[in-house]
């Protein structure tokens, strides 16, 4: 173990009330008193842990300093995903900070620019403690106003609930790692447990705190990573200060950590579950007003280490790193201490898969986030000020263009439009087209009205044609009878008289006169109007009318929402030692806008990219890790690169998806893409090959449902999980989607918890747990039958999907259920299939000794071990145990005689 106390970590000799390490282990934040206000400082943790980095003048020790709080800061907490930093203080405010990619003003404490993204106002007194929920869905804050406020972290500053119940200052809050409860501790000498389903009080614990007094500034309690214990702050046992352990099972509180001479101010569990000497255990740190710090493990009766007089004043906050080997503690004397452990001293932490398997075994659910990634992925937020400035500029440009268009005279528009649309093949200046908005009305000699017809083409080009010049003011123009539906106006010409065609004689006379001169009507019209008749000529229509083209096939309507990325600025995703930064509409060209992708080293102070590329469409989905970077664009293209420390190379050519992607999931070398039209495709990036051709699951979606997970199982079958609690696995043999989980199924719900068990697997995301609360166990008659039906369906699914481990688990679970609730006939059906023929020398072809590679007789032994526990089946046990022994025993005679 190493003990460090960097003197350069301070608030100008002012108290430091809170400390918290970033999930990535790169930074840590402190909160306390500044010069004339509250102060929040983000520090470089590597400068504390590594002496060479500390002495390097090119590596900044202070990342950013924020003095926005009007009074002392009492608590700073990073979100579990590392995206936000929350701070609360005596100014009754909670500020949520995020990194800004916009260049900030250079200064002493501006290696990075952090901006206040949201200010939460709701408390009527000092804010003393903060806590993020396991998946960063909620933020809990407590105050001296005796209340706890739950904030919606997805829609700041929306309040979810205000928890009233404490009658004293609330000085600490902590979340259950499973997300089911919230614990709080107050000066009213109580510790309260709250349910997250309806925010009602679950339990009230008072006995350990009867003798306590309000002598501590904070009461920071903590929940163990296995969810089994709540470690409280200031408690008393026979007059001595302790940290009381509250067990989840019945909320018993008969254990405590003793040894401190004064009140315990803070307790913090390590987020890892350790294995030491073959036993799983949790590790906790306890700080007290006696200036001492003690480290405990749940597998030991005595503390692992105790450090006395670590500070010159009270310990106020503790924080562990995500790897579990580093610990920071702060004090009101204005200093910070760092403890470094080794795995030999503290134990070996469980891997993420082992940890999730443990959660599945205990709680029936995993705690990995829906995307399948680690909660500590360093997701950085965009800058809202850049978006606001760009929107203002675009609004000004659009207003200027509209004003310019409105100021142009209509006559110029009508003259310029035909010129611009004239055929480029015609020589010389193009002739203006005839007006299409008016017809000429004349009268015959007998007083009847005649309207000269004008042919109006139905092409799109002519439909948008600009109307011709308006008639003079002395001419009487009026609208037709349907003013609201037609723009064709009729021009009355009373000075033109047309002889009606009343006989064949007059018709022949007109035909004879046309041999030497034009028709009388045409000559008079040309003389008086000095222009051609309205309407386009035939030769003009030949140039103007486009060739008909086949109508495009209608596109499938999107069923899943397309994500909107980068609407407010850059989007950053973690890619191992690098970070991928995406900026949509980074460059405006004459041919369109370009999106920029950059890979930037995490520890670089200059933010110079090691690789850069451009795309011609906005990026809507991103999936990346230390080896691969994949993006999907709004035009439906998919791009993938192989990432190294110094550059990136394309792993696949640009692929055209059936539609824009709604989700990308990267797991190892496997990339899964879900489109907005509900199609799933999976590729192997290392082999540059398609593993699963696009599969449509449109029929599986319900209104409002979205895809929460998509992956490829070990046997090559794809799996998708929906937000409505349903999970499907595609069977290539059956060419159909197999229902794996359906929380809306009445059979599943009526099984009363029997169907809630899940087998432990290396890939925990295969079994996503439903978000809906499980019904309370019921003893009704249909409950056992419903459970049996559900288990039989699971057995059939595993058999056809060829999932051997799952088949063995569910068949064993079905048999165990039938042992308690089934009939003898149902048990014999399974036992006979496992035993096979026992009175013949050769196995018949209709019975196989193995199923999915599992020996049936081995499974029969497991079933008999369950059967023997029920006395009512003792005869059945004896019968099959004897037959199994006879089958396995070597033959007494050589030929079976």
Which residues, listed in sequence order, are joined to residue 574 by a DSSP beta bridge? 579
Q: What angle do CA 353, 294, 3 make, to 5 degrees?
A: 85
Q: Residue 543: in which H helix or E strand, if any?
A: helix 538-544
Q: With 0-12 CB in 10 A as exposed, 13-18 as middle and 19+ as buried, what is 561?
A: exposed
Per residue in 750-786, pLDDT (tens digit) is 765 554 444 444 333 344 333 333 444 444 557 788 8
Across 241-250, 408-417, 813-822, the highest mean pLDDT is recorded for 241-250
Cis amide leading into 157 (omega within 30)? yes
Buried b (16+ CB within 10 A) or exposed e, 379-400: bbbbbbebeeeeeeeeeeeeee
Note whether 609 and 560 are within 8 A (CB).
Answer: no
Q: With 0-12 CB in 10 A as exposed, 13-18 as middle and 19+ as buried, what is 109?
A: middle
Which pLDDT score is estimated for 770?
Answer: 35
The Cα 655–Cα 639 span in angstroms is 7
Q: What is the DSSP letter of 110?
A: B
Q: What angle do CA 155, 157, 161 make, to 5 degrees?
A: 90
Would the pLDDT of 104 be above 60?
A: no
Which pLDDT score is estimated for 725?
Answer: 83
The Cα 758–Cα 767 span in angstroms is 7
Across 428-437, 594-603, 748-757, the highest mean pLDDT is recorded for 594-603
Which residues, listed in sequence order, are joined to residue 258 by a DSSP beta bridge? 242
Domain count within the chain: 2
What are the backbone angles phi and psi of residue 486, rounded to the nearest 5°?
Answer: -135, 140
The Cα 322–Cα 328 span in angstroms is 12
Decide: helix, strand or coil at residue 821: helix
Would the pLDDT of 574 be above 60?
A: yes
- Output the CA–CA distances (angstroms, integers) from residue 674 to 554, 563, 620, in the order listed: 20, 12, 12
Answer whether residue 815 is part of any domain. Answer: yes
Per residue in 231-269, pLDDT (tens digit) is 999 899 888 899 999 999 899 998 889 989 999 999 999
The Cα 174–Cα 193 span in angstroms is 10
Instruction: Among 297, 331, 352, give the residue marking a domain's end.
Output: 352
Note whether 231 and 224 are within 8 A (CB).
Answer: yes
Q: With 0-12 CB in 10 A as exposed, 13-18 as middle and 19+ as buried, what is 703?
A: exposed
- Cα 325 from chain centre: 30
Mean pLDDT, the chain, whole residue set: 78
Which pLDDT score is estimated for 716?
Answer: 77
Nearest to residue 337, comparing CAs of 300, 308, 357, 296?
308
Answer whether residue 376 is part of any domain. Answer: no
Torsion sign over Cα 635, 589, 650, 608: negative
Q: What angle do CA 645, 649, 653 make, to 5 degrees?
A: 155
Q: E strands of 527-615, at which residues?
A: 571-575, 578-589, 592-601, 611-615
Note whether 863 and 815 are within 8 A (CB).
Answer: yes
Answer whether residue 877 is part of any domain. Answer: yes
Answer whether residue 7 is part of any domain. Answer: yes
Rounded to the nearest 10°, the torsion over CA 511, 514, 515, 518 is: -170
User: What is the extent of the structural domain holding 862?
Assistant: 745-766+781-838+847-888
Instruction: Kindly give, in sequence order, each residue whose CB lies less than 8 Å from that of residue 518, ignoring residues fewer than 6 positions away.
Output: none
The Cα 472–Cα 105 span in angstroms is 65
Torsion sign over Cα 61, 66, 70, 72: negative
Answer whether residue 672 is part of any domain. Answer: no
Instruction: Among 333, 352, 371, give the residue marking a domain's end.
Output: 352
Instruction: Among 352, 377, 399, give the residue marking a domain's end.
Output: 352
Answer whether residue 576 is part of any domain. Answer: no
pTM: 0.46
Cα atoms in the Cβ-side hemisphere of radius 13 Å centred on 864:
21
Q: What is the CATH number of the domain that holds 48?
A: 2.130.10.10
Per residue in 835-859, pLDDT (tens digit) is 887 654 444 557 788 888 888 888 8
Which residues, listed in sequence order, are joined to residue 94 by a DSSP beta bridge? 88, 120
- Output the CA–CA distances (angstroms, integers) from residue 531 to 443, 499, 522, 541, in the order listed: 20, 22, 11, 19
Answer whether residue 573 is part of any domain. Answer: no
Average pLDDT over residues 337-365: 87
Per residue in 482-511, pLDDT (tens digit) is 444 455 666 666 656 555 544 444 444 444
Answer whether residue 451 is part of any domain. Answer: no
């Amino acid at each position: 173990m190493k003990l460090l106390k960097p003197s350069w970590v301070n608030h100008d000799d002012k108290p430091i009330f809170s400390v918290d390490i970033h999930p990535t282990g790169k930074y840590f934040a402190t909160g306390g008193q500044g010069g004339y206000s509250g102060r929040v400082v983000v520090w470089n943790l590597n400068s504390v842990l590594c002496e060479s980095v500390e002495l390097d003048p090119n590596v900044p020790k202070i990342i950013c300093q924020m003095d926005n709080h009007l009074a002392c800061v009492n608590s700073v907490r990073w979100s579990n995903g590392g995206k936000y930093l929350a701070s609360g203080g005596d100014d009754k405010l909670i500020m949520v900070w995020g990194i800004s990619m916009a260049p900030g003003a250079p200064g002493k404490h501006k290696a990075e620019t952090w901006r206040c993204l949201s200010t939460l106002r709701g408390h009527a007194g000092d804010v003393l403690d903060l806590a993020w929920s396991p998946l960063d869905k909620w933020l809990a804050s407590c105050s001296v106003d005796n209340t706890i406020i739950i904030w919606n972290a997805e829609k700041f500053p929306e309040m979810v609930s205000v928890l009233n119940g404490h009658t004293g200052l609330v000085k600490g809050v902590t979340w259950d790692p499973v997300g089911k409860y919230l614990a709080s501790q107050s000066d009213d000498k109580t510790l309260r447990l709250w349910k997250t389903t309806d925010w009602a009080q679950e339990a009230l614990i008072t006995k350990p705190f009867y003798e306590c007094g309000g002598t501590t500034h904070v009461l920071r309690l903590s929940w163990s990573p296995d969810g089994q214990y709540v470690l409280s702050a200031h408690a008393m046992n026979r007059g001595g200060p302790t940290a009381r352990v509250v067990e989840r099972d019945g909320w018993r509180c008969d254990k405590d950590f003793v040894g401190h001479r004064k009140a315990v101010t803070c307790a913090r569990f390590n987020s890892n579950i350790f294995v030491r000497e073959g036993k799983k255990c949790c590790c906790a740190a306890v700080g007290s007003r006696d200036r001492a710090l003690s480290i405990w493990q749940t597998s030991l009766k005595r503390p692992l280490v105790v450090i006395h007089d670590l500070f010159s004043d009270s310990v106020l906050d503790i924080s562990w790193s995500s790897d579990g080997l580093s610990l920071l503690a702060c004090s009101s004397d204005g200093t910070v201490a760092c403890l470094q452990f080794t795995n030999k001293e503290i134990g070996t932490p469980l891997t993420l898969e082992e940890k999730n398997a443990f959660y599945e075994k205990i709680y029936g659910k995993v705690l990995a986030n829906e995307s399948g990634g680690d909660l500590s992925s360093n997701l950085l937020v965009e800058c809202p000020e850049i978006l606001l400035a760009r929107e203002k500029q675009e609004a000004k440009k659009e207003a200027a263009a509209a004003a310019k268009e409105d100021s142009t005279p209509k006559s110029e528009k009508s003259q310029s439009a035909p010129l611009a649309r004239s055929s480029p093949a015609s020589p010389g200046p193009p002739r203006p087209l005839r007006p299409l908005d008016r017809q000429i009305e004349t009268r015959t000699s007998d007083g009847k009205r005649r309207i000269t017809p004008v042919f109006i083409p139905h092409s799109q080009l002519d439909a948008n044609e600009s109307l011709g010049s308006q008639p003079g003011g002395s001419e009487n123009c009026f609208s037709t009878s349907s003013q609201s539906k037609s723009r064709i106006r009729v021009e009355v010409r009373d000075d033109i008289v047309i002889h009606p065609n009343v006989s064949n004689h007059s018709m022949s006379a007109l035909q004879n006169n046309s041999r030497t001169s034009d028709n009388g009507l045409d000559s008079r019209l040309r003389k008086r109007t000095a222009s051609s008749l309205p309407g386009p000529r035939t030769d003009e229509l030949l140039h103007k009318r486009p060739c008909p083209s086949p109508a495009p096939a209608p596109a499938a309507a999107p069923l899943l929402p397309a994500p909107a990325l980068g609407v407010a600025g850059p989007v950053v995703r973690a890619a191992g030692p690098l970070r991928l930064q995406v900026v949509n509409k980074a460059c405006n060209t004459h041919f369109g806008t370009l999106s920029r992708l950059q890979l930037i080293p995490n520890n670089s102070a200059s933010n110079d990219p090691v690789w850069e590329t451009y795309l011609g469409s906005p990026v809507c989905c991103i999936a990346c890790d230390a080896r691969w970077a994949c993006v999907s664009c709004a035009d439906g293209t998919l791009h993938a690169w192989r990432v190294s420390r110094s550059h990136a190379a394309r792993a696949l050519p640009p692929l055209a998806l059936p539609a824009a992607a709604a989700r990308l999931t990267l797991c190892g070398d496997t990339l899964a893409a879900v489109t907005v039209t509900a199609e799933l495709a999976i590729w192997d990036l290392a082999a540059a090959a398609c593993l699963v051709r696009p599969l449509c699951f449109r029929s599986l979606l319900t209104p409002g449902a979205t895809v929460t997970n998509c992956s490829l199982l070990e046997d090559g079958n794809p799996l998708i999980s929906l937000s409505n609690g349903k999970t499907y696995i595609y069977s290539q043999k059956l060419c159909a989607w197999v229902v794996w989980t359906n929380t809306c199924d009445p059979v599943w719900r009526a099984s009363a918890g029997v169907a809630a068990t899940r087998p432990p697997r290396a890939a925990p995301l295969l079994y996503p747990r439903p978000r809906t609360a499980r019904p309370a166990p019921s003893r009704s008659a249909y409950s056992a039958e419903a459970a049996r039906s559900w288990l039989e369906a699971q057995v059939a699914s595993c058999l056809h999907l060829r999932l051997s481990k799952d088949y063995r688990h569910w068949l064993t679970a079905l048999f165990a259920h039938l042992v308690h609730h089934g009939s003898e006939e149902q048990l014999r059906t399974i036992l006979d299939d496992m035993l096979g023929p026992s009175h013949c020398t050769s196995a018949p072809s209709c019975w196989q000794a193995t199923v999915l590679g599992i020996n049936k007789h081995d499974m029969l032994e497991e079933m008999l071990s369950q059967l023997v526990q029920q006395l009512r089946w003792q005869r059945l046990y004896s019968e099959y145990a004897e037959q199994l022994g006879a089958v396995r025993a070597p033959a007494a005679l050589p030929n079976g005689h």
